[in-house]
Amino acid sequence: MALALHEKISIAEARQWLLNAHEEWTGTHIDTLTESQLEDLDKAMVAMKPIDFKAPRKKRTTKTSSSTSERSEAEYDEDKCDARVWLAGGFDAQCSCKKINGQFLCKKHQNEADKHDGKIKNGFINAERPTHHYGDESEKAIPWHDVVIEKPAKGAKKKASDGTRKPRKCGCCGEIGHDKRSCPKASTEPSTPMVPIEQMTIEQMESAIAAAKLAQASQQTETSEEVTTPEETPEETPVDTPELDEDTSIIGAGVGLEEDDVSELSNTMEDTLVISANDEDESSDIIDCTFEDIPYSRNNEGIVVDDDGDQVGEWVDGAIQFDRNGVKQHRMAKAAL
């Protein structure tokens, strides 16, 4: 037996070791040694004790780990957990953890079994290997190394249960035969935002009233044409159509208004015109607040609008506080300068 030079021993064990060696070499039993001889032995041990001696370390051995296939073919160990584990490459093997006292599983797999009615997702090593986790056939199969799982081809179209391709449905109306871009029910006309009467400028009120009267006149003309028969041809009645400037644009707020709305707009415009006529020397309801060479105006309520009458923010503490759309429009207008 070779000496384990890296092992450490006590002084008493070293003393007894020397006495055993003395007895073996001289043939004299250690019980015959006198007290003075034993004291001389102790003095000699103290005198010959090595100085700055370091015991050699045990040589490190490289740990050889078995491959997954070798571990999969290892024999059943009664002291290890009975759970089956999935290894790299799809191999299965016994769990390497020790069992809990009086149980068949380790602490980890025992907690898993308690949460799933005693089942483990990869099954038990001494039972049949499962094909799905927890016996749920609807989930994907466990990719064992000897199981072939067919993967769907990339870019494959979804098909119905009978193998035919499902018809395409429109994302707008849900009908079959066209898509969202070619849907006949999709709105093609851009919607014009409605401007409240309180926020309208004088030009916008004039345009709204003119557009409303023009729309009503066209509706009356269409109605008279439908009622007229070939035998009775009524006299043409001239329709008073307000003259519009070329620069004046008809906004969507005046189209399709009822008579009450038109009268309300007319009264509002008349009141505004009367106020502006009577108070020419006083400050107007519309106050210019041009910022960074971009024209803006505000009313007494602090609503700030641009040249098109669109609200861009509010007048707060002597400055314009832009909203999200107002910041974007101001940047675009500034970049266009």
Q: Which residues of 107-140 are buried (b: 16+ CB within 10 A; e: fewer)?
A: eebbebbeeeeeebbbbbbeeeebeebeeeeeee
Mean pLDDT of 129-145: 77
Q: What confidence tier does 249 reach under pLDDT thresholds 50, 70, 90?
A: very low
CA distances in angstroms from 184 to 48, 173, 201, 252, listed in the order given: 109, 9, 37, 23
pLDDT of residue 256: 47
Q: Percent of the chain, pLDDT > 90?
A: 7
Average pLDDT, the chain: 74
Using the predicted structure, report yes or no on whether residue 246 has a pLDDT greater than 90: no
Q: What confidence tier does 330 reach under pLDDT thresholds 50, 70, 90?
A: confident
Both tokens assigned to 242: 């307000």
Q: Which helix (H) or strand (E) holds 322?
A: strand 319-322
Q: Residue 309's CB: how many other CB atoms inside 10 A?
A: 18
> What's the whole-model pTM score?
0.30
Using the predicted structure, report yes or no on whether residue 281 has a pLDDT greater than 80: no
Say if CB 15 and CB 22 are below 8 A apart.
no
Q: Percent of the chain, pLDDT > 70?
A: 66
Q: What are the residues whose beta carbons fall under 8 Å from the beta carbon of 139, sequence distance 6 or more?
A: 132, 133
pLDDT of residue 236: 52
pLDDT of residue 108: 92
Q: What confidence tier does 29 reach under pLDDT thresholds 50, 70, 90?
A: confident
Using the predicted structure, report yes or no on whether residue 97 has a pLDDT greater than 90: yes
Task: Give, in degrees to the nearest 5, the angle at Cα 291 between 290 and 294.
Answer: 75
HSE on the CB side for 272, CA within 13 Å? Answer: 21
Mean pLDDT of 117-138: 83
Using the predicted structure, report yes or no on whether residue 142 has a pLDDT greater than 90: no
Express each pLDDT in 38-71 by its tens digit.
898 889 888 888 888 887 887 776 655 567 778 8
Which residue type is seen at 3? L
Q: What are the residues whose beta carbons fall under 8 Å from the beta carbon of 42, sequence distance 6 or more?
A: 15
pLDDT of residue 261: 56
**Residue with more model confidence, 154 or 296:** 296
pLDDT of residue 124: 92
Q: What confidence tier does 269 reach under pLDDT thresholds 50, 70, 90?
A: low
Which residue type is seen at 254? G
Express each pLDDT in 45-54 by its tens digit.
888 888 888 8
